[in-house]
Every structure is written in C-alpha cells, then in structure tokens.
Structure 1
Amino acid sequence: MLKNYFKIAFRNLMKYKLHTGINIIGLTLGLGVSILIFFFVQFESSYDNFHADNDKIFRLRRFEVVDGEKTFSYSTPIITAPTFASEFPQVEATTRYIGGASQAYLDELTTENQNYSMVSPEFLEIFDFKLIEGDKSKVLQDKFGAVITEDVAKKYFGDSNPIGKSIRMKMGDNFEEYQVTGLLENIPGNSSLQFEMLINDQNLDFTVDEFGKNNWFHVFGDTYLKANDPLAKASIESGSIPMMKKVLGEEYVEGEYLWELQPMSEIHLTDDEITGMVETTRPTLLYILAGIAFLILLIASINFTTMAIGRSVTRAKEVGVRKTMGAGFSQLMFQFLTEALLTTLIALVLGLMVAELLVPTFNSLFEKDLDLVYQPTQIGILIGLVILITAMAGAYPAFFMSNLRPIKVLKGNLSIRFGKQGLRKGLVAFQFFISFLLIASTLIMVNQMKAIRDYDLGFDKEMVVIVDVPGVSGLDLVQNLVDGFENAETYRQALVGRSEVESAGISIATYGDESFWDSGFETNEKEQFNFRVSFVGGDYFKSMGLEMAEGRALNPDIGADSSAFVINETFAKAMNWEDPLGEMLPNSEFAPHQIVGVVKDFNHNSLYKEIEPLLLAKSPKLLFSGINTLMIHAAFNPKVLVKGSGTDFETFKSVLESEWGKVFPMESFSFSFMDEKVQNQYKADERLGKMVFFAAGIAILIATMGLFAMAALSIAGRTKEIGIRKVLGASSLSISWMFNREFLAITVAGVLIALPLSLYLMQSWIAQFAVKDWPSWINFVLLAILGIGFTLLIVSAQAFRATQMNPVKTLKDE
C-alpha cells in the first residue's frame, strides 16, 4: 500500500512538471539556506558541551561599585583562585587563565610571536581537552613545562614527537627553555577557550611582583572554578561577601565588591560588551538568523500550498472518482501528504548540495570553521525540517482536497477563481509582506553602515600602517612602558628620514580594538572622575591628522613635555574649564603638571559609543602618580603608526620591512592597516546586513516564482472568460488590468504593512549606534514603486500571452 502511495505521488509530480519544478526549486533554495543556518545555530549553541562536568564549571565575574555606579569585569585579582579554593569546601579546583604572547625561536635565526595561556596545574583536570600524550595531573606541574596543540607541534618540530623537546621563549629580559610535557588535540571549534600553548602560572613571576599577586585591586586574567555540585553556585556567591570582609579588612566597603559565578554554558552566547578572554556570539544574531531561515522556508511552503490549492480544479475529478470508488478521507489525506513528503525529500537532497556549496562563503562571512557533519543532532534537525515543511506545505492542501464532495465535483460545479479564494490571496500577500520586510530592513542596514563608513571620525585613517614593536616584560609596568617606547622610538627614527614616509608616531592604543585604557581619579571634592587614556610619542598628532582646538600638541622630541597633558574637548567640558590651558587635574596626588593643549574631539571609541573624556600623555609615571583606577584592555606594547607619503604600497612596505630588519634583526615583522582596524569594529553588523540582503534575495526569488505560478493558474482557470470577453470586444489591455488589479491589491497590502513594520523592528538595532542615519522616505517610496512595477510586469506578461490565444479554441466544448 505504501509503495502504491509513492508510485501515484511520483506520477502526479511528473504530470505537473512546471508546478513541481517551481516547488522543488523554491524548497531547495529555502532548505539549502536554512540547513546552513540551523546547523550554524546548533553549532553555536553547542559551545563547551564537550566538557563532562560542564554544569559544574563556572567563570568568576567581579562587580565593583564606584560613586554608585556598578560595573563588572571578568578580570580578577591573581589571588582569587587560591582564596576561593581555600575558603569554600564546595570548590573542587580552581585555575587562572591569563593570556600572553612572547617571541619564540622557530630555529636558530628566526623568531616568531607565540601566544600562550598561563594556567594553574589543575586546568586540564577541570576542562576536558583531549591530551594525546602526557598525564593530566603532571604535565603542568613544572614552571618551565609547556603543553602544546598539534598545530604548534607541527610548526616547531614538524612530524617528529615533540615530547621532551624545548621551545625557547622570551620571558622578562631573557629567553627561557620550555620543555614540551604534553601534546593536545587541536582545540575544538566550539570551545570558548582557544589557545595554542599552556604554561604554568608560576611564570607570573616574570611580570607581576608579590604586591600585585596579593592585591585585591590588581586584576589580571580570568579565573575558573569547578564546584562539587551545580547547585553550589548560590552558596558560593552568598559566601563571597563574608570572604571579602575577611580578606579586605578595613578596606572593605559594604556592597562595593561582589562576586558572581557565570556558568560555563552561558559564556559564549552573550550580548555583553565585556567578554573577558573569550570570543562570544550575540544570541540576538542567532535569533535573527533562525527567524530568517524560518521565513524563507515559510515563503517556499506558501508556494507549495497555494499551487496545490490552485491545482484543485484539475485534481478535483480524481478525488471525486476515488471517493466514489470507496476511498476514505484518511487515505486521500495520506496520498496528498505523501506527495508533499516526496517533494520535500527531493528538495532536501538538492538543498544539502546547495548548503555544501554555500559553506565556504558562509564561513568567510562569519569567520567560522563550520563543517556540515551529520551526527545524530544534525540528522535530527534534517528530519525535523522535513516534517515541518511537509506539515506547513502539505497539510492544508491535503485537508482541502480530501474534503471535496464527490457529487459537486463530478457535476463540474467546483470554482476556484482566484478572486474568490481569500486564503490564497492572503498567503500570496504574506509572501510579499515577508519579502518587502526583508528588503526594507536591508535598505535600513545598508544605509546605516554606509553612514558609519563615511562618518568623519576626527582623525585620518587612510594610508596609516600600524607596526607592533617587540614588547618588554618585567615587574615594573612604568619601566616596561618606558623601555618599550625607547624601542619604538629607535624604529621610528629609522623611518622618518625616508621619502616614502610622511610621518610616524607612537601609541599604546590604536583604533578599532578598544585598546584605550580606562582610568580615573578622585577629585579634591571626593568625586570620582573617569576618563580614557593613551601614552603617545613622536609625531603622533601629525600622523593621525588630529586637529587642536586650543594650545599645542605634545612635543615629539625625546624627554620633552614629560610634565604635560593634552586632553580632548569632552574632557574640558566635563571639568567645566572655560580656559583649560595651564590647568592642573584637580587632585593633589598628581605630580606637578599642566594641560598644554586641547585636541578636537575624535572618535577614539567605536561609533557604538559617545565620545568620552580622553587624556594623552608622554610620561606614564606622571599619570600614575594621581590615578586610583586603571583598566588595561589589551597588550600595552607600543605601536608605531606610520603615515605613508603617497608612494605605491609595495615600495612603502619594503621600506618598513628593510628598516625593521636593521633595528630588530631577530624579530618577525608584522603590520596592520588603520582603516581596516577601524572597520573591523562593525564586522558583526556588516555580516548581519549581508545575511539579511542574501535572505531578501532568496525570498524575492521564491516569491517571484510563486507569483508567476499563481498568475498562470488564475489565468488558466479563466481562459473561457477571456475568450468571451475578447469576442465581446474587450481589449488586451483591459483584460490584463482585470488580472493586475487583483494582484496589485495584494502587493500594495504587503508593502503598506511591511514598510512601517520594518522601521519599528529596526529601531532596536539602530539604537545601538551613537551615530544614527535613517534612509530618506524617498527610498521607501521608490522601493514600493519597484515592487508594484515588478508585479505588473509578471502578471501582464502572463495575461498578454493568454489574450493572444484564439477565442475559437478556448470556447470549444471539451
């Protein structure tokens, strides 16, 4: 019996090739895109699930209250891990997770920047990263032991066994030998923690003194803990308050230093701007992508439904005869559902091929490494999609067809004129509504991102190259900065004499990576004043094209302006200084200094944020004398910002490399472009815009095929009427308008609902930007006109073809 159902279904699909083709093409496109999106959503939702005790692992989140404002960070004091381990019996193990980078020898003549993570010895017992060689409990015990991944092992040792071999890395002032004690499988793509090398956190001795290790206000890296029970979270959090009272003593202020345990399962998917030492994905992105996938499937399913109902004239006699011969309602239902299932299965196979073809483009767009693997979860998604589409596309047509009355059908009284079918009109209108909603949303996103790209940031990002100078690590932060600036100045001096270089400056902060430091001090009135800060040198102001509102820029000469600050206009306004030149920061703790210039406001943050008070200085010691808070967001190695003179880039680059080789012959050379760094801030929204644009294109294509089929069905059902009208003198234009007005009403309804709704829905997206730009109303009017014109073109083409038929043929009896 089942075989018979499929045989009849296949014959019917082959009989109506045009409609079958439109359905399969629409479903193939819908499934191809949807499979890719749903697999991506599943992959993003699976982050960190491979850890066996995932529900018992937590990351510590630290809250502080300053002047009534509560802020949080994942950066924790170094003393946090041992303190929680000793204070709470519920805690089985703790580990620090502190990122770093160092120069390492690839061979005797070449060094390369090597990333590493400093962790506690228990790290591999807390997390289930697969160790190929080595003992989890021993590989991280030695200060100079290293656990590396397969890729790192291949880079340094080729195909030979790395265990017992050494890697020389610069720690502090010297190169140290790190012996490979363990080999890890490459870290899974769905791991929040991504690293290349693990070393013991005793190596903090090279960068942090004893005061820093035991200070509760000196934060450095993340802290993770493993509890003996997932429900221990609440008791540990509540117990952290008396713990802080105990460890801070007289320094403790009620409610101003709090802790929260963030479950491992909640780390990756977050809307928080502060993410710690992990890469995250905004859950709203997944919701939007899943919604897009569902809408595309819905449009394709609507095509199936409307065309199945439209074919009911030709299938009605078949239903009448089968019912007369004894076929029951359930049998007919099953027959039509079988046709829907067979169509869906064919589209699924083709859709998987489309998805495989789109994977490289998708990975490039979202910078992911997604593979279409077919494990139980993924197979479950595919089965779910088949059931969903079969139900959406086939359930109503099956019910509609199976419910036809034989006597009415066989007498030939069945009418499904398009104008009489409210459901089909509603479904087609809904297709247009979805399509226009996506198009209008794309228009808003494209317009906003163009405004961001074209916005005057207040500095010159063109033809500026950022060159990272080798860092200096040690226990004294100020000395590290001073020594790093000396290295950068040596390289800068080598460049400024070259004709290919217009100017060169130095800075610890660049743009597009949130690298400006957060700092603050207490004013004489005991109020906290927070601002952003960067230390600069050389021709920084000239290289960045910054303009002065008052006063002068910092002197580029070495040693000059060691007691000078330059602030931005927002800083001066926040201080209520009408004439800031010569002013001093209102805190007696600061060493003698003065404000020598006010730079015009420029966007040191991304355009998601308003411009904040900013201070630029040459002397870190001067600033550190008076501040009471400091948050370092990124590595503080100085960067040389080089402005090209307009020569071709290859010549410019060769100059940078040749001078680098003279100054740092043992160090690897790397650079980045300022304009790319700036644009990288908006990658997530650029990707989302491209995805919505792509989805809008697919939706339009599917809806167009549906409109074509619906117009063809509507006209085919009224060929005799067209013949009579022609005999009575009706023109082709009047007949065309008769059909067009029905479809135009649907189009206009879809546009009128979609356009205002898109404005409403996009408000929350565009609100995240400090700089906002909505499209002109003219753009929306043009969009509506294009949609209406598109409908007229498709329907008119079908109607014109019908009016060219000979009335004699259309009016003949069957």
Structure 2
Amino acid sequence: MIKNYLKIAFRNLLKHKLHTGINLVGLSLGLGVSILIFFFVQFESSFDDFHENSDLIFRVERHEKGEEGMISSFSTPIITAPTFAAEFPQVTHTTRLIGSSAQAYLDESTTQTQQFLTVSPDFLEIFSFNLLEGKKDQALQDKFGVVITEETAKKYFGNENPMGKSIRIQMGDNYEEYQVTGLLEDLPANSSIKFEMLVNDANLDFSVAKRNQESWFNVYGDTYIKLNDAQSKATIEAGVEAMMKKVLGEDYKEGEYSFTLQPISEIHLTDNPDSGMAESTRPTLLWILAGIAFLILLIACINFTTMAIGRSTTRAKEVGVRKTMGAEFGQLVFQFLTEAFLITIAALVLGMILSEVLLPTFNELFDKKLDLVYGSMQILILFGLVVAITAMAGAYPAFFMSSLRPIKVLKGNLSIRFGKQGLRKGLVAFQFFISFMLIASTLIMVHQMNAIRNYDLGFDQEMIVLVDVPDVPGTNFRKTISASFAQAEIYRQALMGRSEILSAGITIATYGDDSFWDGGFPTPDEKQFDFRLNFIGGEYVKTLGLELAQGRDLNPQVGADSNAVLINETFAKAMGWDDPLGEMLPSNKIQSHEIVGVLKDFNHNSLYREIEPVILAKSPDVIFSGINTLMIHSATNPKVMVKGAGTDFEAFRALLESEWERVFPMEAFSYNFLDETVQKQYVADERLGKMVFLAACIAILIAAMGLFAMAALSIAGRTKEIGIRKVLGASSWSISWMFNKEFLVITLVGVVVALPLSLYFMQGWLEQFAVKEWPSWVNFLVLATGGVAFTIAVISAQSYRATQMNPVKTLKDE
C-alpha cells in the first residue's frame, strides 16, 4: 500500500516539474538558513550545561546604592569569596576569577603578552573543564603552579608533554618561574568562561596591595560559589544583609550594599551590557533570528499551499475518479501528505548541504565557531522541522482536496476558484507582508548604522594607532600608573623625533569600548556626584583633535600641570558652572587642583549611551585623593596614541615597530586602530542588520517564485477566457492589466500593512541608541514603488506570453 502511495506521489511530482521545482527550491533555501539558525539558537542555549551539578554553581552579583539608585555589577571585592565561605555553611567551594596579563618568555630571547585568569584552588572543583594531566584537588594549590590548555601548551612546548616544565612570567618587578601542574583539554565552544592559563590567586600579592585585598570598596573580577543544595540560594541571599552589617561595622548603611546570586545557566543569555568576565549573547538576538527562520519557512510553506490550491482543477478530477473507485477520505489525505513529505525530505537533504556551504559565512558573520554536529538534539530539531513543514504545507491542501464531492467534480461544475480564492490571495498577500516587513526593517537598520558610522563623535579617528605599552606590575596603584606613564613617555618621545608623526599622546582609556573609568565623590550637600575618568599624557588633546570651549590644554611636558584637570561641557552643566575655570571640584577631600580647560562634549562612550561628565587628568593623585568610588573598566597600563602624517600605513606601521624594538627590544609589539576600536561596539547590531538583509533577500526570492507560479496557474486556468477576449477585440494591454489589477491589490495590501508594523517593531530596536535617526519617508515610498514595479514586471511577463497565443488553439476544443 505504502509503495503505491510513493509511486503515485513520485509520478505527480515529476509530472508538474515547475511547481515541484519551485517548492523544492523555496523549501531548500528556507531549511538551509533555518537549520543554521535553529542549531545556532540551540548552541547558544546550551552554554555552560557541560558542568556537572551546574544547578549548584552561582556567580555573585554586587549591588551598591548610587546617585541614581542601585548600581549592579559582577565585579566584586577580592574578600567576597572567603567571606561567603566563612559565613555560609551552605557554600562548599568558592573561587575568584580575575583577568590579568603579563609578559612571559616564549623562548630564551622572545617575550609575549600572556593572558591568564587568577583563580582560587577550588576552581577545578567547581567547573567541569576536562583535566588531561594533573589532579583537580592539587593542580592549583601551589602559588607557582599553572594550569594551561592544550593550545597554550603547543605555543610554549610544541608537541612535548608540558607537565613539570617551566614558564617564566613577569610578576611584580621580576620574572618568576612557574611550573605546569595541570593540562586542560581545549575549552568547550559553549563555555562562557574563556582562558588560556590559570594562576593561583596567591599571586595577587604581586599586583594588589593587602589593604585593597581586604577592602569591600575595591572590586576586581568575578566571584563564583558552589552550594550544597540549589535551594540554599534563597537562604544565603536572605542572610547577606546580616553578613554585610557584620563585616562593614561602622561603614554599614542599611540597604546600600548587598549581594545576590546568579545561576550559571543565566550568565550567557543576558541583555545586561555588563556581563562581567563571561562571554554573553543577548537573548533578543536569538528570538529575532528564530523569528526570521520561522518567517522564511512560513513563506516557503505558503508557496506550497497556494500552488496546491491553484492546481485544484487538475487534481479535482483525480480525486473524483479515485473516490468513485472506492478510495476513502483518509487514504486520499495520506496520499497528499505523502507528496508533501517527499518534497520536504528532498528539501531537507538539499537544505543540509546548503547549511554546510553557508556555515563558514555564518561563523564569520557572528564571530562564532558553530559546528553542524548531528547529535540527538539536532536530529530531534530536524525531525520537528520535517513534521512541522509537512503539516503546514500539506495539511490544508490534503484535507481540502480529499473532501471534494465526486459528483460535482465529474460533472465539471468545479471552477478553479472553489470558493477559496480569498484564502489564496490572503496567503500571497501575507508573503508580501513578510517580505516587505523584512526589507523595511533592513532599510531602517542600514540607515541607523550609517548614521552611527558617519556621526561626528567630537574627535578625530583617522590614521590614529593605539600601541600597547608593557605592563609595570606593582601593588601601589598610583605608583604603577605613574611608572607605566613614564615608560610610555620614552616611546612617545622617540616617535616625536620622526617627521612622519604629526602628534602622539598617552591614554589609559580608549573610545567606544566603555573603557573610561567610573569615579564619584560626595558633594558638600551629601549627594553623590558620578563622572567618567581618564588619565592622559603627551599631546592627547591635539592627537584626537578635541576642541576647547574654554581655557587651555594640559602642558605635555613631564611633571607640568600635575595638579591640573580638564572637564567637558556636560560636567560644567551638571555642576551649574558658567565659568568653570574659576571653580573647584566640590569634594572636601580632593587635594589642591585647578580646572584649566573645558572641552567641547565628545562621545567618550559608544552611541548607545548619552555623554556623561568627564574629567581628564595627568596625575592620579589629584583625583584619587577625593573620590569614594572607583570602577576600572580597562587595563592600568596606558597606550600611546599616535597620529601619522601620511596615508601609507605599511610604512607607518614599520616606523612604529622599529622605534618599539629600539626602546623595548625584549617586548612584543602590538597595536590596533582607533577607528576599529570605535566600530567594535556596534558589531552585534551590524551583524544583525546583515542577517536581516540576507533573510529579506531569501524571502523576496521565495515570494517571487511563488508569485511567478501563482500568476502562471491563474493565467493557465483562464486561457479560454483570454482567447474569447482577443476574438472580441481586447488588446494585449487590457488583458495584461486585468491580471495585474488582481495581484497589485495583493501587493499593496502587503505593503500597507508591513510598513507601519516594521516602524513599530524597529522603534524598540532604535531605543537602545542615544543617537538615532529614522530614514526619510522618501525611502519608504521608493521601497513601496519598487514592490509594485516588481509585481507588475512578473505578472506582465506572464500575461504577455498568454496574450500572444493563437485564440484558435485555445478555443478549438469547444
């Protein structure tokens, strides 16, 4: 029986090659993109689920009261981990995660910057990273022991076994010997915690003063804890207030400083821009991508349904004959569903091939390492897609066709309309609605990102290179910054002697990467004033092309203007100053200082955020003496900011590197471009825009094939009417317009509904930007006109062919 169903299904599909081909191509495109997206969504949703007892692992979140309410962050004091372990018996393990870097000897004569995580000995007991060599409970016990990944081991030791071998790493003023005590398998792609090397947190003594390690108001990295029972989370959070009252003593103020616990399962998928040290993805991105995949599949399924309804006249006689011969309703339904199933299976195979072809492009677009591995979960997703598509595309035609009455069909009283013309038109209109909504959304996103790209940030980005200066480790924060600036000044002076260099400055923070530090001080009226902070040197203002609204620039000479600061216009407005040059920062503890200049507002952050009050200073002593809060968003070692005089970048880079080798012969040279740093903040939305654009192109292609097929079916069912009209004197233009009217109404309905809805949905996306710009109404008018013109072109081409047929051939059988 099933064999016969398959034979008949194959014959019907081969008989109608055009419609089968359109359905196959449409579904294949839809499935190819959807497989990538659904697998990507499943991959992103699986982050950190490889850890054993992951329901017992939590990250500590800090909450501190500020001027505008509670401020939350995953950066926590170093003392958090041991305090939680001591105060709560429900805590079985704790670890700090503090990202650091230091110079390390790659071989006897070459050093490189080595990134590593400073962690507690419990790290490998909490997380289930696969330890290939060494013991979990011992690998991180030694202060001078390190655990490295396979990739890092190959970098230092090639194919040799690294266990017991040494790596020389600069800690403090000296290079220390660290022995490899553990070898980890390269980290899973779905781990939100990334690292190359693990170092015992006893090494914090080299970089953090003892008082800062014990302070509740200095934060460094993340803190993770593991509980004996998941239900203990509520108990611990309820006891945090009492713990803070105990440890803060006289500094305790009710409700102003507390902690909560975040399950590890919630770390990766978050809309919070502050994701700590963990790699994160916005869940809204996954919802948008999943929605795009669903819409593309829906358009392909609509093609299948509308063409099946359009072929009803041909298939109706088949149904009538088979029912007369004794076929039952269920058998006919099964027959039609079998055809839908065969097309879906064939499309799935082609879609899987297409997804493999598109995978490198997809990974490059989203900066991921997605691999299409067909495990049980992936097979379940594919099975679900096949069932869903077969049901969506084949169910209605199957039940509709199978319910036809034989006597009505065989008498020839059944027209192509079947009373279902409205449904068919509605489905085609819905296709156009989806397509135009995606196109309009793409238009809005492209226009916004172009506006961001061309926006005047208030500083110069062109031909400016940021050169990383080697770390100067130390436990005294101020001395470390001063020493690193002195080191950067040596390199800056070497560059300033070259004619190819226009100017060079020194900076702790860069732009567009949220690296300006957060600071705050209490005002005399007992309010908290928060601002953004950067330490600078050299010709910083000149190099960036910042404009002064009042006053003067800082003196670039070393030692000059050590008590001077610059502020921006927003800072002056927030303070209510008309003449800031005669004012003092309103903090009782800030040492003698002088506001020497007011800079015109510039975008120190990305354009997602408004401009905030900013202080620029040469010396940390002036600012640190009076602030009560400090949040560090970047490394403490500065960068030399260099502006070249020409346009030959290769010669410019060679010059920078040659001077570097002369000043720092043992250090690795690394650099990046300022404009690239600025643009990195918008990468996620740029990628989303490209994805929506590709989805719109695919949707248009599928909808165009559907329109072509429906026009062909509609015209094929009315060839005799066309012949009669021609005999009676109708022109080709009037016949073409008769068909165009029908489909133009469908197109206009789709456009009229799609445009306002796309504006509504995209308004939520635009709200994330502090600077936003809508496209002109002319753009939307051009878009609508293009859609109408496209429909006219497709329908006119089809109808013109029909009007060129000889009426004698179409009417001779009457």
Q: Take 2:404 and 2:425, find their aligned partners in 1: how far apart are those partners?
A: 20
Residues 341-375 of structure 1, C-alpha deviation per residue, up to 9 Å, x if partnerless?
00000000000011001111111110000010000
Counterpart position of 1:490: 490
Q: Take 2:312 and 2:713, find their aligned partners in 1: how far apart are those partners?
A: 10
Q: CA deviation at 1:588?
A: 2.3
1:417–1:717 CA contact under 8 A, matched in 2: no
Q: Take 2:798 and 2:218, find their aligned partners in 1: how far apart are those partners?
A: 74
Residues 462-516 of structure 1, C-alpha deviation per residue, up to 9 Å, x if partnerless?
0000000001111100000000001100000000111111110000000122110
Q: Which range is displaced more, 402-411 or 415-424?
A: 415-424
Counterpart position of 1:602: 602
Q: Take 1:174 and 1:706, find their aligned partners in 2: how far apart are those partners?
A: 71
Counterpart position of 2:354: 354
Q: Which amino acid in structure 2 is aligned with residue 797 of structure 1?
A: A
Counterpart position of 2:170: 170
1:296–1:699 CA contact under 8 A, matched in 2: yes
Counterpart position of 1:229: 229
Q: Which amino acid in structure 1 is aligned with residue 575 of structure 2?
A: M
The SS at the match of 2:191 is coil
Q: CA deviation at 1:126?
A: 0.7
Counterpart position of 1:276: 276
Query: Is 2:72 the partner of 1:52?
Result: no
The SS at the match of 1:459 is coil
Counterpart position of 1:303: 303
Q: Take 1:66 and 1:469, find their aligned partners in 2: how far apart are those partners?
A: 34
Q: CA deviation at 1:647?
A: 4.1
Counterpart position of 1:704: 704
Q: Which amino acid in structure 2 is aligned with residue 592 of structure 1?
A: S
Counterpart position of 1:145: 145
Count of aligned pairs between the two proteins: 814
- Report matched runs for 1:11-50 at 5 Å: 11-50=11-50
Q: Take 2:188 and 2:707, find their aligned partners in 1: how far apart are those partners?
A: 45
- Report matched runs for 1:146-545 at 5 Å: 146-417=146-417, 421-545=421-545
Q: Which amino acid in structure 2 is aligned with residue 93 of structure 1?
A: H
Q: CA deviation at 1:419?
A: 9.1
Q: Take 1:181 and 1:418, find their aligned partners in 2: how far apart are those partners?
A: 77
Q: Take 1:75 and 1:454, find their aligned partners in 2: how far apart are those partners?
A: 34
Q: Which amino acid in structure 1 is aligned with residue 610 of structure 2?
A: E
Q: CA deviation at 1:86?
A: 1.3
- Report matched runs for 1:618-767 at 5 Å: 618-767=618-767
Q: Take 1:669 and 1:589, find their aligned partners in 2: how far apart are those partners?
A: 40
Q: Which amino acid in structure 2 is aligned with residue 699 of structure 1?
A: A
Q: Which amino acid in structure 2 is aligned with residue 537 of structure 1?
A: G
The SS at the match of 2:218 is coil
Q: CA deviation at 1:789?
A: 0.5
Q: Take 1:310 and 1:657, find their aligned partners in 2: how far apart are those partners?
A: 69
Q: Take 1:237 and 1:58, find their aligned partners in 2: how far apart are those partners?
A: 12
Q: Take 1:774 and 1:446, find their aligned partners in 2: how far apart are those partners?
A: 10
2:48–2:265 CA contact under 8 A, matched in 1: yes
1:419–1:742 CA contact under 8 A, matched in 2: no
Distance 1:33 1:308, change over 3 A: same
Q: CA deviation at 1:418?
A: 9.1
Q: Take 2:604 and 2:590, find their aligned partners in 1: how far apart are those partners?
A: 25
Distance 1:24 1:46, change over 3 A: same
Q: Take 2:2 and 2:274, find their aligned partners in 1: how far apart are those partners?
A: 57
- Report matched runs for 1:83-94 at 5 Å: 83-94=83-94
Q: Take 2:418 and 2:411, find their aligned partners in 1: how far apart are those partners?
A: 21
Counterpart position of 1:6: 6
Counterpart position of 1:61: 61
Q: Take 2:242 and 2:419, find their aligned partners in 1: how far apart are those partners?
A: 74
Q: CA deviation at 1:417?
A: 3.6
Q: Take 1:729 and 1:44, find their aligned partners in 2: how far apart are those partners?
A: 64
Q: Which amino acid in structure 1 is aligned with residue 75 of structure 2?
A: S
Q: CA deviation at 1:230?
A: 1.1
Q: Which amino acid in structure 2 is aligned with residue 2 of structure 1?
A: I
Q: Take 2:205 and 2:477, find their aligned partners in 1: how far apart are those partners?
A: 13
Q: Take 2:794 and 2:548, find their aligned partners in 1: how far apart are those partners?
A: 60
Q: Which amino acid in structure 1 is aligned with residue 334 of structure 2?
A: F
2:478–2:621 CA contact under 8 A, matched in 1: yes
Q: CA deviation at 1:67?
A: 3.8
Q: Take 2:770 and 2:79, find their aligned partners in 1: how far apart are those partners?
A: 38
Q: Take 1:522 and 1:302, find their aligned partners in 2: how far apart are those partners?
A: 64
Q: CA deviation at 1:26?
A: 0.2
Q: Take 2:27 and 2:629, find their aligned partners in 1: how far apart are those partners?
A: 58
2:508–2:634 CA contact under 8 A, matched in 1: no
Counterpart position of 1:808: 808
2:145–2:199 CA contact under 8 A, matched in 1: yes
Q: CA deviation at 1:212?
A: 1.1
Residues 412-461 of structure 1, C-alpha deviation per residue, up to 9 Å, x if partnerless?
11112499611100000000000000000000000000000000000000
Q: Take 1:211 and 1:2, find their aligned partners in 2: how far apart are those partners?
A: 80
After the TM superposition, which parts of structure 1 deviate over 4 Å for at least 4 consecutive aligned residues?
Answer: none
Q: Take 2:170 and 2:63, find their aligned partners in 1: how far apart are those partners?
A: 34
Q: Take 2:380 and 2:782, find their aligned partners in 1: how far apart are those partners?
A: 44
1:505–1:538 CA contact under 8 A, matched in 2: yes
Q: Take 2:616 and 2:716, find their aligned partners in 1: how far apart are those partners?
A: 75
The SS at the match of 2:148 is strand
Q: Take 2:285 and 2:188, find their aligned partners in 1: how far apart are those partners?
A: 22
RMSD over aligned Cα, in angstroms? 0.9
The SS at the match of 1:160 is coil
Q: Take 1:420 and 1:309, find their aligned partners in 2: how far apart are those partners?
A: 8
Q: Which amino acid in structure 2 is aligned with residue 228 of structure 1?
A: N
Q: Take 1:730 and 1:329, find their aligned partners in 2: how far apart are those partners?
A: 44
Query: Is 2:134 the partner of 1:134?
Result: yes
Q: Which amino acid in structure 1 is aligned with residue 621 of structure 2?
A: K
Q: CA deviation at 1:582?
A: 3.0
Q: Take 1:192 and 1:494, find their aligned partners in 2: how far apart are those partners?
A: 41
1:582–1:595 CA contact under 8 A, matched in 2: yes
2:103–2:471 CA contact under 8 A, matched in 1: no
Q: Take 2:419 and 2:401, find their aligned partners in 1: how far apart are those partners?
A: 19
2:471–2:637 CA contact under 8 A, matched in 1: yes
Q: CA deviation at 1:794?
A: 0.2
Q: CA deviation at 1:161?
A: 0.2
Distance 1:403 1:468, change over 3 A: same
The SS at the match of 1:681 is helix
1:500–1:647 CA contact under 8 A, matched in 2: no
1:491–1:663 CA contact under 8 A, matched in 2: yes
Residues 242-262 of structure 1, C-alpha deviation per residue, up to 9 Å, x if partnerless?
111111111110111111100
The SS at the match of 2:580 is coil
1:417–1:718 CA contact under 8 A, matched in 2: no
1:302–1:428 CA contact under 8 A, matched in 2: yes
Q: Take 1:483 and 1:444, find their aligned partners in 2: how far apart are those partners?
A: 48
Identity %: 71
Unaligned stretches of 5+ residues in structure 1: none
- Report matched runs for 1:561-576 at 5 Å: 561-576=561-576
Q: Take 1:89 and 1:522, find their aligned partners in 2: how far apart are those partners?
A: 37
Q: CA deviation at 1:201?
A: 0.6
Q: CA deviation at 1:68?
A: 5.8
Q: Take 1:457 and 1:518, find their aligned partners in 2: how far apart are those partners?
A: 20
Query: Is 2:113 the partner of 1:113?
Result: yes
Q: Take 1:284 and 1:67, find their aligned partners in 2: how far apart are those partners?
A: 29
2:567–2:614 CA contact under 8 A, matched in 1: yes
The SS at the match of 2:581 is coil
